[in-house]
Structure 1
């Protein structure tokens, strides 16, 4: 999955530090991120469908951005990453200086190496939070960054704003040797998926599982079992994966507003060519290979 980057190490803990020469800079502009073509692509990474990416070093661009505000994001191995938000004019200048290009989140589904994909997607998540929280929602004064933790504070009323994380569930519904596979309706991602949905206020994650399966497919479920979780910056989520069994009738009633299709698929029919980033695809693969208690 996207967070499985060993032997690389990942530290998301906030630090009140400034860039050093080898720090990497994530330049954002209107929800897009600057990436460069990696210069150290090895022969076994030459798949033309995979974009090998890198990010500018602080030492190489600091003179080009003398007035930039560098916000610490996280550390990958021993390298610190910082965010810089660009105006349109500065965006054009950085494009020319770095020779890179600005991309959206979906681009990262076909990018490598995985540790940079994790960095980029987490950067997108934090960029959106910083971009949407300039003023206090209680008294409308400008927020300031805290110097101890990743938090924005109102100096007037004391309101504290932390990064928003949206909890959601991924559900593998089983029916003997069959798994319920779906496809989203009206989304950019067109491959097989599992039932998924956001947790509502006042609802346990297990209750979310039952509700989402019923709403999207008309099925009742039982024996709900937690599998694994995943940070998912593509949609600013923390995902919790569950397996469960169909309870009663297995006749599917598809909610066509949410899904374009939903069907039972046997182990032998499940596709083998699944991306390695997502909890969804790991769960599909685990079931296909019969590696769990289903």
Structure 2
């Protein structure tokens, strides 16, 4: 999966140390990340601070520390004019599912989630006053009313609904992503993550389920989500009643007929392939 970057190590603790010339610059637009892509080998390159030296007067003063991978640090530069970095372009975020090295793809999409949060926290939601960044933790605060805002995570479930040697695979309605996936949905206020599984399955395919087995989780910064993967068994009638506002199609697939995605970056694909191999938790 995209976060599996070993032997590299991701460090998300907030350490607002100053960048140096080799530090990475991350930049974004809505749904797009800024990098150079080599179409020959599908590799990407990210800009570094030294490439902006002499063109940005306050380069080493105006920055937001994000995280580190090994000893390499990643930053945002507020108000950066990306035209100062010729050779790099904005690309659709979905391209990061297919590029190498994987640790830079993971860094880029994780930075996008933080950029999106910072962009939407410029003003206090309580009084409208400009927010400031805390100096000790990754938090925005309002100097007027004291409101504090932390990065937002949206919990969601990925569900492998099984019936013997069959599993339900589906396609989303109205999405650019057209490959088969598993049933998924966001948790709502006041429910457990297990209750989310039962509700989403009923809403999307009209089934009752039992014997929930937790598989694993995944940070999915493409949608700002923390995913919880479960396998479960159909409880009773296995006739599907598909919510076509959410899904264009949903159907039962035999193990040997499962159609995997064209990348191994997602929890959905891993769970589909685990079931295809007969290795899902019982």
Say whether the fold is shared (TM-score over 0.5): yes
In 2, the alpha carbon distance for the partners of 1:194 and 1:224 equals: 15
Counterpart of 1:175 in structure 2 is 163
Matched, 1:61 2:52: yes
Aligned to 2:194: 206
Contact 1:173/1:246 (<8 A) preserved: yes
Check conservation: 2:154, 2:225, Cα contact below 8 A: yes
Q: Name the counterpart of 2:185.
A: 197
1:251 matched to 2:239 = yes
Which of 43, 54, 63 is equivalent to 1:52? Answer: 43
Distance 2:247 2:215 in 1: 23
> Equivalences for 1:70-219 in 2 at 5 Å?
70-86=63-79, 90-91=81-82, 93-94=83-84, 97-219=85-207
Q: How big is each residue's C-alpha offset from its partner over 1:230-261, in whole Å with a ceiling of 9 and x where there is no partner?
A: 00000000000000000000000110000000
Q: In structure 1, the residue corresponding to 2:36 is in which secondary structure?
A: strand
Distance 2:130 2:203 in 1: 41
Indicate if the aligned counterparts of 2:215 and 2:281 stay in contact, CA closer than 8 A. no
How far apart, in 2, do the equivalents of 1:219 and 1:29 lie?
39
- Give CA-to-partner distance per residue, 1:189-245, whole Å, 9 cap, x none: 100110000000000000000000000000110001111000000000000000000
Q: Report SS of the residue matched to 1:207.
A: helix
TM-score (norm 2): 0.95
Note if contact 1:170-1:280 (Cα within 8 Å) is conserved in structure 2.
yes
Residues 27 and 85, structure 1, Cα contact 8 Å, conserved in 2: no
Counterpart CA distance in 2 for 1:115 and 1:70 is: 22
Contact 2:260/2:272 (8 A) holds in 1: no
- Unmatched runs of 5 consecutive residues or more in structure 1: none
Once superposed, what is the RMSD of the aligned Cα atoms? 1.6
Greater helix fraction, Structure 1 or Structure 2 = 1
Shift of 1:63: 2.3
Deviations 1:25-71, CA, capped at 9 Å, x for gaps: 01224553210136xx9xxxx55xxx311111111223222245311
Retained in 2: the 8 A contact 1:126–1:163?
Answer: yes
Which secondary structure does the structure 1 equivalent of 2:15 belong to? coil
Give secondary structure in 2 for the equivalent of 1:63: coil
Does the 8 Å contact 2:179/2:261 carry over to 1? no
Equivalent residue, structure 1, for 2:15? 15
Q: Supply the distance in 2 between the matched residues of 1:205 and 1:123 (Cα, whole angstroms).
A: 26
Query: Alpha carbons of 1:206 and 1:60: their partners in 2 closer, same or farther (altered >3 Å)?
Result: same
Cα deviation for residue 81 of structure 1 reads: 0.3
CA distance in 2, matches of 1:85, 1:276: 33
Aligned length: 280
SS at match of 1:112: coil
1:264-291 residue CA offsets vs partner (Å, 9 max, x unmatched): 0001101356411100000001000011
Measure, in 1, the Cα distance between the counterparts of 2:228 and 2:173.
22
What TM-score do you get using the length of structure 1 for normalisation? 0.91
